């Protein structure tokens, strides 16, 4: 899965992963992060998520990373934001007070660009095939502050019934990916298939959603 796959999804507006409302699990569990983590929050592979607006409304500074310029432009237009673009090496920074979006390759971001003590991953890890996940976690650890903590949302389903993305990620894999450097706590585990008729149409008979709180060791 390469960058062109996602550019094509945005060009064709094949963005079933986008939610028009704030994710209920973010609203339910954001307060369970410590005060430091809630001050400046990184949202990797952010798309045009309205969750970023909600985070700003809670008083957080938000830093997003997104491959597609189309996604950022749509986010600005749909939320009446004036995000001024600035070329910054391999990336373009779209920013206004309290909100910074880095357009470009997530894997080439630097700690100086992110500088976040908190993070929120609703659609990043689940968007990546297994072969890319270790590199994703390594980069996440590289750009976040040493005392970071955050929320990660994952799915479990029978991969014989549907091909990703979003991809299923088991509890065992979360342990494998994060346990060396993070304290892991599952805050929620529930079947949400009824909320996703599109995934039912793709053949799923069960869709388990987990919310994880991760705290850097």
Rounded to 5 degrees, φ, ψ at 103 are -95, 125
Q: Among candidates 77, 168, 58, 167, which has minimal Cα distance to 118?
A: 58
Pairwise CA distance, residues 208 & 191, whole Å: 4
* Reported pTM: 0.94
Q: What pLDDT, on the 0 to 100 scale, is given for residue 3? A: 74
DSSP assignment, residue 30?
A: G
Q: What is the pLDDT of residues 44-91, one digit of tens each?
A: 999 999 999 999 999 999 999 999 999 999 999 999 999 989 999 999
**Count of alpha carbons within 13 angstroms of residue 70, beta-carbon side:** 10
Q: Which among 216, 214, 46, 213 has a CA at the least distance from the CA of 145?
A: 216
**Strand pairing class (61-66; 99-103):** parallel
Please, which residues bridge with residue 118 across strands?
A: 41, 149
Write the pLDDT tens digit of every residue in 3-40.
777 677 667 766 666 578 999 999 999 999 999 999 99
Structural domains of the chain in order of their starting residue, each with its CATH number: 3-11+21-216 (3.40.50.150)
Q: What is the mean pLDDT of the chain?
A: 93
Q: What is the pLDDT of residues 119-144, one digit of tens each?
A: 999 999 999 999 999 999 999 999 99
Dist. CA 29–CA 190, nearest whole Å: 14
């Amino acid at each position: 899965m390469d960058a062109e796959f996602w550019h094509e999804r945005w060009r064709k507006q094949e963005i079933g992963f986008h939610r028009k409302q704030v994710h209920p699990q973010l609203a339910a569990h954001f307060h369970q992060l410590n005060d430091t983590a809630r001050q400046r929050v990184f949202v990797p592979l952010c798309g045009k998520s309205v969750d970023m607006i909600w985070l700003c409304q809670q008083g957080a500074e938000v830093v997003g990373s997104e491959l597609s310029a189309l996604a950022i432009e749509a986010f600005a237009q749909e939320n009446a934001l004036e995000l001024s673009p600035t070329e910054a090496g391999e990336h373009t920074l779209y920013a206004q007070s309290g909100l910074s979006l880095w357009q470009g390759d997530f894997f080439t971001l630097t700690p100086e660009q992110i500088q976040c003590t908190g993070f929120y991953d609703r659609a990043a890890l689940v968007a990546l095939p297994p072969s890319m996940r270790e590199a994703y976690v390594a980069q996440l650890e590289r750009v976040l502050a040493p005392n970071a903590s955050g929320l990660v949302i994952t799915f479990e389903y029978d991969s014989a019934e549907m091909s990703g993305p979003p991809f299923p990620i088991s509890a065992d894999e979360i342990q494998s990916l994060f346990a060396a450097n993070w304290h892991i706590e599952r805050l929620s585990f529930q079947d949400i298939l009824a909320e996703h008729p599109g995934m039912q149409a793709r053949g799923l008979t069960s869709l388990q959603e987990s919310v994880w709180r991760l705290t850097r060791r």
